[in-house]
Amino acid sequence: MSEDTTYRTVEGEEFRLLAEGLSMMKSMVPYPETAKAIVAEVDGKVIGFGVLQQLPHGEPAWVDPEYRGNGIGKEIFSRVNVLMDQLGAKWWVACSTSEASERLCRDAGMTEIPGKLFIKEPKGARHGR
C-alpha cells in the first residue's frame, strides 16, 4: 500500500470519477442515486474503487413439488415483476438455484450475467445450508 494513497466515499454526481474504470470493466452502476463507492486515489487520480449497489433483489421463490408444472411459478414470477415495476425498479436481480428458475428468468427477458455470487452473512448464519 502506497503512503500516497487516500481512500474516501463517493456518491451521487461523483460517480463520474469511476467512468474510466467502469468502461475498462465494461460495467456500470445501474442506480447511482442509491449507490456509494469507496475510491482509492493518488494525487487526485482514481486508481481503484469498490461499489455498493442497492439493487432490488427477487429471491427466494418456491412452489410445492406437488403443484409444479402448472404455471404457478411463472405466474408468481410475473407478479413479482409487476411489484418491481410498482416500486419503480428499472433494474433488479434474481439469484437462480435451479433450471426451472433459470427458465423463468430467461422467459421474462432477464439476462444471465457472468461471474459468481458471494454473500456476506452475520456470524453464525449459514445461507442455504
pLDDT at 129 over 60: no
Tell me the C-alpha distance between 17 and 33, whole Å: 15
What is the model's pTM? 0.67
Residue 10 cell numbers, joined: 463517493
Q: What is the pLDDT of residues 87-96, one digit of tens each?
A: 888 888 888 8
Domains annotated on the chain, with CATH: 5-52 (no CATH), 55-129 (3.40.630.30)
| Predicted pLDDT at 101 | 87
